């Protein structure tokens, strides 16, 4: 699998996760780390924001809030 294919797969998975979070009343955002350029994730709802290190943590938190992967 090429780097482009890997990025496309991650982008598609992220889009599905955004929808799953929205169904649970949460927002999911992705930003690039200023120093490394690597993606960082943040889940937010009701005025609170939870940093998530990677897609594994994003999936785990989704399960905690009652969502399905």
* pLDDT score of 10: 67
* pLDDT score of 7: 60
Residue 58, domain member (yes or no) = yes
The total of structural domains in the chain comes to 1
Residue 20, domain member (yes or no) = yes
* pLDDT score of 26: 96
Residue 59, domain member (yes or no) = yes
Residue 27, domain member (yes or no) = yes
Tokens found for residue 37:
């350029």
Structural domain including 24 reads 3-64
Residue 69, domain member (yes or no) = no
Q: What is the pTM of this model?
A: 0.79
- The DSSP call for residue 54 is S
Residue 57, domain member (yes or no) = yes
* CA 20 to chain CA centroid, nearest Å: 10
Residue 44, domain member (yes or no) = yes
Q: Provide the residue-wise pLDDT of the chain in tens; the chain has 69 residues.
A: 555 555 656 678 999 999 999 999 999 999 998 999 999 999 999 999 999 999 999 999 999 999 765
Strands 39-45 and 27-32: antiparallel
């Amino acid at each position: 699998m090429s780097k482009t294919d890997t990025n496309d797969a991650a982008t598609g998975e992220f889009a599905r996760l955004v929808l799953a979070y929205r169904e649970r009343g949460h927002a999911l955002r992705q930003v690039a780390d200023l120093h490394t350029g690597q993606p960082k994730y943040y889940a937010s709802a009701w005025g609170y924001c939870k940093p998530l290190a990677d897609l594994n943590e994003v999936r785990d938190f989704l399960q905690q809030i009652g969502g399905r992967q």
